[in-house]
Structure 1
Amino acid sequence: MNSHYLLLLAILFEVCGTTCMKLSQGFSKLLPSILIFVFYSVSFFLFTLALKGMDVSIAYAVWAGLGTALITVVGIFWFREPVNSVKIISLFIVVAGIIGLNLSDRIA
């Protein structure tokens, strides 16, 4: 499987794990608490496989940045977190940074 697809899947599982952190209410709810470890285990497994075909510097930056952007969107739409112009602009900056990192790999 393509490393980029593995990385994307790893990011999605990481976002699911982070979402379960919120849903677990400090490990007071059993199912979300268990799912934290399941989702993060799968995420790290897939991320490790993705690293076989990618530079770690690019892969980790994409993983962290896209994960942050996605969990912010989840927070806004699912958990009704406040949204303002600074948050939206910051999301665009994170996404622009991810695009720039990927382009730098092709330009060099």
Structure 2
Amino acid sequence: MISWIYLGIAVLFETSVAISAGNAQGFTRLWWTVATLVSGAIATFFLSLSLLEFDVGVGYSIWTSAAGVGVVILGALFFGERLSRKKLLGISLVIGGVIGLHLSGAA
């Protein structure tokens, strides 16, 4: 159970990496750059803790997939990005894949 908490924290910080990196504008904005690097380190740390129980392929796939979905949703909610039917279909497929990985009994 604790591995899921670690993975959830890793997902939150990985989502923060994407948002910060987008605002860092090629690492030309100092504080967004710092936020990107610190968030990345924290995300990787918690991912490594979750991988003590998850298979690497399953844990990493869930981590990147959930963070990707989070970034798309946050982009739509806070940055005016369009959430099209194709994006919603993609999100649904990703969620289905994550559920399939979880049901594989890997953790």
* TMscore range, shorter length: over 0.9
What is the letter of the counterpart of residue 84 of structure 2? N
The offset of 1:26, in angstroms, is 2.0
Size of the aligned set, in residue pairs, is: 106
> Structure 1: any 5+ residue segments left out of the alignment?
none
The offset of 1:55, in angstroms, is 1.0
1:89 corresponds in structure 2 to 89
Query: Percent of pairs identical after alignment?
Result: 28
The offset of 1:105, in angstroms, is 1.4
Give the SS at the match of 2:26: coil
Q: How big is each residue's C-alpha offset from its partner over 1:43-97, in whole Å with a ceiling of 9 and x where there is no partner? A: 1111111111111121011001111111111111121112211111111110111
What is the letter of the counterpart of residue 24 of structure 2? S
The offset of 1:19, in angstroms, is 0.5
Cα RMSD of the aligned pairs, angstroms, is 1.4
1:56 corresponds in structure 2 to 56
Q: TM-score, normalised by structure 2?
A: 0.92
What is the letter of the counterpart of residue 96 of structure 1? G
- Once residues 17 and 78 of structure 1 are traced to their aligned partners in structure 2, the CA distance between those partners, rounded to angstroms, is 16
2:36 corresponds in structure 1 to 36
What is the letter of the counterpart of residue 44 of structure 2? F
Q: TM-score, normalised by structure 1?
A: 0.91
The offset of 1:18, in angstroms, is 0.9
- Once residues 84 and 52 of structure 1 are traced to their aligned partners in structure 2, the CA distance between those partners, rounded to angstroms, is 37
